[in-house]
């Protein structure tokens, strides 16, 4: 069993920041109340999701626009939908070395490293399988139809099985500043790591500014916090599966950390009473089938949190929990279909907010 592409949606994690009151929209906006020291919040649609940058000092607002420039820069490198991106050029020129930016080399090396460490549960060459299922688009169109789709939207077993052998990160070759994909039937897709990588780059930029106060980066549910001291924390709400985006099962305090959730409710559709979600098992080619509804990863680097959230989900509760506890500075929250919550040993500040759930 391997991994899937992941595009974490806003419902993966919810910010519980009392000082913030804003409605998400696809256009850019900012809010700041000088008298009450409320945050400056800027949001716009990018990376196929809502991106929100929040700072907590008026002088820091001058840095926010640059964040969106950084996002656009990397989106232009990593996107699979833009013909001139580095990743698109690699995919459309198989068996040839393609010159790319150093950041593309860096994120691909991180992808390969994670694939190696998870025995292929994370695999950036999953692109054609993801395209075949087209779950994100089908889920979007099915929202007004009780999430139901017709059976002819389910790919045939023959098509699925034909793609599985081509999901192999070892077919990515890196030579200096060039990359080759050694399989014309494969496709690189960085959806499972790109937002985390970009969030880390924004944090690096903020650290160089430097900020006068704390900040929070939210790339469609990939959350990264910047705090001036360890005692200065954010309360982050963990989404209640299959519920409204303001419903949570619990909340946790974090400081200078990334938090990313993968859940079967983020993008899914139903067919003949069966749920088909976006977290794909790249050994079988079908959505991962286990007792988990969501997994939340908490770790300093957003790149790692992003890649781990889906791969650890694919491992299942027991193996996933054991794997996270073998890593340094990394914690996880597992939520099962029978409303049980499992925490790794290092989590101390988690609090349930829904009595239907129990901590094990």
For the record, the structure tokens of 203 come out as 């944090």
Distance CA 74, CA 57 (A): 27
**Is residue 118 marked as binding?**
no
Distance CA 139, CA 7 (A): 13
Closest CA to 249 of 360, 345, 350: 350
Q: Which residues, listed in sequence order, are joined to residue 358 by a DSSP beta bridge?
A: 340
Distance CA 49, CA 41 (A): 16
CA distances from 267 to 26, 78, 89, 127 (A): 19, 21, 28, 16
**Is residue 192 marked as binding?**
yes
Distance CA 168, CA 182 (A): 10
Burial (Cβ within 10 Å: 0-12, 13-18, ≥19) of residue 330: buried
Burial (Cβ within 10 Å: 0-12, 13-18, ≥19) of residue 135: buried
For the record, the structure tokens of 34 come out as 């000088």
**Is residue 306 marked as binding?**
yes
Q: Are 246 and 240 in contact (CB under 8 A)?
A: no
**Binding-site residue positions for Mg(2+):** 192, 306, 310
**Binding-site residue positions:** 192, 306, 310
């Amino acid at each position: 069993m391997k991994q899937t592409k992941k595009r974490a949606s806003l419902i993966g994690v919810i910010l519980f920041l009392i000082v913030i009151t804003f409605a998400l929209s696809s256009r850019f906006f900012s809010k700041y109340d000088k008298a009450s020291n409320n945050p400056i919040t800027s949001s716009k649609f990018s990376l196929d999701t809502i991106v929100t940058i929040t700072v907590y000092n008026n002088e820091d607002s001058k840095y926010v626009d640059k964040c969106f420039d950084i996002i656009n820069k990397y989106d232009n490198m990593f996107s699979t939908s833009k013909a001139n991106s580095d990743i698109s050029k690699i995919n459309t020129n198989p068996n040839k070395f393609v010159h790319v930016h150093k950041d593309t080399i860096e994120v691909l090396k991180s992808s390969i490293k994670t694939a190696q460490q998870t025995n292929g549960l994370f695999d950036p060459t999953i692109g054609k399988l993801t395209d075949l299922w087209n779950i994100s688009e089908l889920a979007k169109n099915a929202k007004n139809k009780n999430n139901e789709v017709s059976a002819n939207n389910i790919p045939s077993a023959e098509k699925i099985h034909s793609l599985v052998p081509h999901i192999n990160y070892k077919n990515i070759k890196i030579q200096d500043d060039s990359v080759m994909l050694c399989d014309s039937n494969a496709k690189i897709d960085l959806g499972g790591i790109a937002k985390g990588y970009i969030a880390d780059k924004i944090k690096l930029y903020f650290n160089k500014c430097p900020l006068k106060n704390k900040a929070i980066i939210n790339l469609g549910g990939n959350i990264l916090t910047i705090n001036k001291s360890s005692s200065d924390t954010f309360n982050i709400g963990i989404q209640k599966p299959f519920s409204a985006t303001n419903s949570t099962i619990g909340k946790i305090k974090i400081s200078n950390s990334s938090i990313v959730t993968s859940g079967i409710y983020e993008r899914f559709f139903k067919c003949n009473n069966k749920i088909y979600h976006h977290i794909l098992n790249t050994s079988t080619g079908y959505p991962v089938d286990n007792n988990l509804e969501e997994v939340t990863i908490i770790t300093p680097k957003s790149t790692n949190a992003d890649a781990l959230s889906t791969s650890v989900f694919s491992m299942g509760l027991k193996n996933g929990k054991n794997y996270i506890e073998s890593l340094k500075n990394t914690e996880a929250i597992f939520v099962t279909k029978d409303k049980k919550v499992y925490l790794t040993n290092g989590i101390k500040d988690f609090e349930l907010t829904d009595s239907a759930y129990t901590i094990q």
